Amino acid sequence: MAGTRRRSRISDTASRAASALNDRGHVEDLATRPAVDVPSSIDSSSRASSPESKSTIGVCKRCNGVVGHFFNSWHKITGTYYLPAMPGSYSSKLEPHGKQKAATIGTDLDGCLIQPLACKCTDVLGFHAVDAPHEKAYFR
What's the number of CA atoms in the CB half-sphere (13 Å) around residue 23? Answer: 0
Which percentage of the chain shows pLDDT scores above 90? 27
Helix (H) or strand (E) holding 15: helix 9-20
Residues 6+ apart with CB under 8 A from 5: none
Number of domains in the chain: 1
Full residue range of the structural domain in which residue 124 is found: 52-139
pLDDT at 136 over 60: yes
**Mean pLDDT, the chain, integer:** 71
Residue of higher predicted confidence among 52 and 124: 124
| Nearest-angstrom CA–CA distance, 114 and 24 | 73
Q: What pLDDT is recorded for position 24?
A: 46
25 within domain boundaries: no
If you average pLDDT over residues 25-46, what whole number do you get? 47
pLDDT at 54 over 80: no
| Lowest mean pLDDT, pick from 1-5, 60-64, 75-79 | 1-5
